[in-house]
A and B are shown apart, each in its own frame.
Chain A
Amino acid sequence: MTTMTKPRYTGKRHRLDKPELLAPAGSLEKLKFAVHYGADAVYIGGQKYGLRSNAGNFSFEEMKEGVEFANRYGAKVFVATNIYAHNEDIEGLEQYLKELENAGIAAIIAADPAIIETAQRVAPKLEVHLSTQQSTLNWQAVKFWKDEGLPRVVLARETSVEEIAEIKAHVDIEIEAFIHGAMCSSFSGRCVLSNHFTDRDSNRGGCCQSCRWKYDLFVDEDAPAFQEQDDKFTMGSKDLCMIEHLPDLIEVGIDSFKIEGRMKSLHYVATVVNVYRQAIDAYFADPEGYELKQEWLDEIHKAANRPLNTGFFFDTPGSEDHIYEPEDKPAPYDFAGVVMAYDEVKGEALVQQRNHFKPGQEVEFVGPEGTFFKQIVGAITDEEGNELDAARHPLQLIRMRVEQPVKAMDMMRKRTGKSK
């Protein structure tokens, strides 16, 4: 990863003292975990108009429940309506946006002016945030959208810290930037590989990630550039991770730090949110004395599914920033369970199984403050007290002794690999 040698750029956050930590939530349960682990806002998808047609998208009822839950923590819920609409998508749009407003959604994230304008007209209580799908790189375009009445712009992932500083200097508007997660390697919205390969419309949620497929590069008809056994060509990018550079992003004045991943697991979202929450809070508690903690990096790697980099923040990605070789899982931990309840008297937790675990295995417990203890799993029973040799069944409720007090919504990870 690149480090910055130049003096830091400083900008002004528009409205917030601390940058907002904005997390993805592919389901109601993930929303609750994201908020519980420290997100200031979450973004979700509804049944229509979103770019993740395969994510567990929310009904209006679920949205209402999500908003209610988030509000208890002082958090907000945004809805991604970030497709580029076709003619036939326009019918029903007004009704849909009104429903979002009624459900208490704070903002939509939109790219298509047809959606932006309709929202402003029929659902004025909804804020409209310009999606990264517009690939906005320059301050004059940002100013255009501000003049159009938008309070926030999500910049293109191709903007550097320096460019963000310049945008901040020219336009008084909230700036949101992706700080963690998977990235399109193309300019967002400027890719129709899925349309061509599979007749799935990438700009309406049908992306099949053709950028991560493997290709042979040919110089001319009979001359492949490389041999069969060599690494193949791909556009696939490493994932973004800015945990090591948080002060740069805070000081440049980014208003909202966005984590990618509506398709990611509950464990991923909670773990990543947890780390950035702690880092942001640590910075604001003592900006001068702020130091990156090794445990934050360790936690990020326990959640990561790909190698990580810093995207375009400091430099244009090069050969080190793409994934040409087979990938290894970075850390030997798997999500194993969620704490549902804790019995103080017995020192016993009720754990909902999320992956196979058994007595003798090493596990660690994670809560909103981070990973706080490890232990070896002792005897386990089902809810009725029947002893089990392993927790085999998805979502099965398991009773087990824990060596320290735990709370509902704490997560349990198991160490993987044959040694334990």
Chain B
Amino acid sequence: MDNGYRPELLVMPSSLEEMRLLGAAGANAFTVGEARYGMRLAGEFDLKAVQHAAEYTRANNFKLYAAVNNLIDNETLPDLPAYIRGLAEAGVDAVIFGDPAVLMTVRSEAPQLELHWNAEMTSTNYATANYWGRRGAHRVVLARELNMEQVIEVKQHTELQVEVQVHGMTNIYHSKRSLLHSYLDHQAKSGIESELKEEPGSFGQTGGLFLVETERPEERYPIYEDSNGTHIMSSDDICMLENLHELLEAGIDSFKIEGILKTPAYNETVVRAYRYVIDKYLKDPAGYQFQDEWLEPIREIQDPKRELSFGFFYKEQVY
């Protein structure tokens, strides 16, 4: 029986070209933005590029979301209304926000746009999701530190659409400080030479830098700097492919694949695998059974130094 349930497969491309690649592989929703307003983007999309992206998504009946989820400072406020209007004119379907200033600006400048509440690690319960829902949010993007029971419970207790990250790395620390620069400056003052030279991009997403904690030599935590500060990322990649049916059964509205710090080829493989599994499930939910070989393409392309994990989905945390 078809109940009309068609969950979305959402990914963040680094360019229009990658977007088309991922669309062809089975993604049907995309997040884009620019670093002045959006946090941890895979690539820069100025308003012109957003417009091109929107032409593509409209033509294919896909969705386009603008990431305006930075922690906003005073200096950004004066330009925010025009930017929001620009996004609306460019044709995005929704704005992703964390800061209340963005919510207020969308309500005043482009009330027709949907609002997705994404406060990263602090979107942790249904009561707060519903609070933002009453103030205009249509969707909650859940923190990755929740477990399966909590995710399902949120879905059961909210009218909002629920978005869950099912694949890729997660941010685990965000500072406004330029910690790589600070460290290199400190070493230089002590007269210590390093392999690492400051060149364009060497501290950024393509710099390939990572941290290793003394007690955990096997775990590599990517670190980079950008105009929003310093970002440290998880040492593992969430991969929920095998257990996606648990989330499908719960009726989760959007499955996100985090595309940051990955190649287009990697993202394409991952999107294809999730599209396959979603379609298999929807075709026959009752008879659905996961086949291990469906995971094989991801295993083949996965960096062997980065574990494919279930994230926090089956963990109990203490405090």
Binds A, one of B118-126, B244-252, B284-292: B118-126
Given contacts A86-B146, A217-B209, A219-B196, contact A187 B176 (CB under 8 A): yes
Residue of A nearest to B72 (CB): A138
Contacts A217-B196, A226-B194, A322-B182: A195 and B172 contacting too (C-beta < 8 A)?
yes
Is B179 touching A141 in the complex (CB atoms < 8 A)?
no
Q: Are A167 and B186 in contact (CB under 8 A)?
A: no
- Cα–Cα, bound, A220→B305 (Å): 12
Is the Cβ of A193 less than 8 Å from the Cβ of B101? Answer: no
Closest-by-CB residue of B relative to A189 is B122
Nearest CB to that of B216 among chain A residues?
A197
Q: Is the CB of A215 within 8 A of B211?
A: yes
Inter-chain contacts of A233 with B (CB < 8 A): 179, 183, 211
**Inter-subunit contact A201/B175 (CB<8 Å):** no
Interface hub of B101, B234, B315 (most chain A Cβ within 10 A): B101
Considering the complex, which residues of chain B in the window 193-230 have a beta carbon less than 8 Å from any beta carbon of chain A? Answer: 194-196, 207-214, 216, 220-221, 223, 229-230
Q: How far is the CA of A192 from the CA of B119 in the complex (A)?
A: 13
Nearest-CB residue, chain A, relative to B152: A87
Interface string of A24-43 (1 = CB under 8 A from B): 00000000000000000000
A139: B residues at CB distance < 8 A: 74, 77
Decide if B173 touches A201 in the complex (CB within 8 Å). no
| A195, chain B: closest CB distance, angstroms | 5
A88 to B149, CA, bound (A): 10
Is the C-beta of B276 less than 8 angstroms from some C-beta in chain A?
no
The stretch of B7-15, B56-64, B127-135, B254-262 in contact with A is: B127-135
CA–CA, A227 and B193, complex, Å: 10
**Choice from B99, B214, B317 contacting A214 with Cβ under 8 Å:** B214
Interface: B71 (CB within 8 A)? yes
Chain A: minimal CB distance from B30 (Å): 24
A237 to B179, CA, bound (A): 10
Choice from A199, A217, A237 contacting B183 with Cβ under 8 Å? A217
Using Cβ atoms and an 8 Å threshold, which residues of chain A touch B190? Answer: 230-231
User: CB-CB < 8 A to A87: which residues of B?
Assistant: 125-127, 150, 153-154, 157
B111 at the interface (CB under 8 A from A): no
The answer on a CB contact under 8 Å between B125 and A322 is: no
The complex places the Cα of A321 from the Cα of B182 at a distance, in Å, of 8
Which residues of A lie under 8 Å from residue B207 when comparing CB positions? 219
B1 at the interface (CB under 8 A from A): no
| Given A190-B120, A190-B174: A90 and B127 interface contact (C-beta under 8 Å) | yes
B192 touches A230 (CB 8 A): yes
Closest to B210 in A: A218
Whether B173 contacts A235 by the Cβ 8 Å rule is yes
| A248 adjacent to chain B (CB < 8 Å) | no
Closest Cβ of chain A: how far from B198's Cβ, in Å? 11
Given contacts A217-B209, A226-B192, contact A185 B172 (CB under 8 A): no
Is B51 on the interface with A (CB-CB < 8 A)? Answer: no
Chain B residues within 8 Å of A143, by CB: 104
Chain A positions within 8 Å of B234 at CB level: 196
Nearest Cβ on chain A to B54's Cβ, whole angstroms? 27
Asked if B103 and A144 make an inter-chain contact with CB atoms under 8 angstroms apart, the answer reads: yes
CB contact list, A85-105 vs B, under 8 A: 85-90
B187 within 8 A of A: yes
The smallest C-beta distance from A97 to any residue of chain B, in angstroms, reads 13
Interface pair B196/A319, CB less than 8 Å apart: no
What chain A residues lie within 8 Å of B194 (beta carbons)?
225-226
Instruction: Say yes or no: is A182 at the interface (Cβ < 8 Å to chain B).
Output: no
Q: In whole angstroms, how far apart are the Cα atoms of A213 and B175 in the complex?
A: 16
Tell me whether A231 and B196 are in contact (CB under 8 A): no
Residue B294 CB within 8 A of the other chain = no
Instruction: Tell whether, in the assembled complex, residue A156 and residue B209 are in contact, meaning their CB atoms are under 8 Å apart.
Output: no
Interface pair B73/A137, CB less than 8 Å apart: yes
> CA separation between A88 and B174, bound complex, in Å?
27
Known: A187-B174, A206-B319. A145 touches B153 (CB 8 A): no
Are A85 and B127 in contact, CB atoms less than 8 angstroms apart?
A: yes
Residues of B within 8 A of A312 (CB): 176
A235 to B230, CA, bound (A): 10
A145: which of B100, B179, B180, B181 is its contact (CB, 8 Å)? B100
Q: Inside 8 A of A403's CB, which chain B residues have their CB?
A: none
Q: Least Cβ distance of B242 to chain A in Å? A: 22
Let me know if B145 and A138 touch, CB within 8 A.
no
In the complex formed, the residue of A with least CB distance to B127 is: A114
B178 interface residue per 8 A CB criterion: yes
What separation, in Å, do the CA atoms of A59 and B3 have in the docked complex?
51
Q: Is the CB of A201 within 8 A of B99?
A: no
Report yes or no: B173 in contact with A211, Cβ–Cβ below 8 A. Answer: yes
Which residue of A186, A200, A237 is within 8 Å of B318 (Cβ)? A200
Contacts of A89 in B (CB 8 A): 125
Residues of A within 8 A of B120 (CB): 190
Q: Is A381 an interface residue (CB 8 A)?
A: no
Interchain Cβ contacts under 8 Å between A and B, 23 examples: A84-B128, A85-B125, A87-B150, A138-B73, A138-B74, A140-B101, A141-B72, A158-B176, A191-B121, A195-B312, A196-B172, A196-B234, A201-B318, A217-B196, A218-B210, A226-B192, A233-B183, A235-B179, A237-B177, A316-B176, A316-B177, A322-B177, A322-B182
Hey, which bits of chain B sit against chain A, CB under 8 A? Answer: 71-74, 76-77, 99-101, 103-105, 120-122, 124-128, 131-132, 145-146, 150, 153-154, 157, 171-183, 185-187, 189-190, 192, 194-196, 207-214, 216, 220-221, 223, 229-230, 232, 234-235, 305, 312, 315-319
Which 8 A-B pairs rank lowest in CB-CB distance, beginning with the nearest? Answer: A206-B319, A114-B127, A319-B185, A144-B100, A140-B101, A204-B319, A113-B131, A319-B186
Extra inter-chain contacts (16) besides given A140-B77, A213-B213, CB under 8 Å: A117-B131, A158-B71, A189-B121, A190-B171, A199-B315, A199-B317, A202-B319, A219-B196, A226-B192, A230-B187, A230-B192, A231-B190, A317-B177, A318-B182, A319-B186, A321-B182
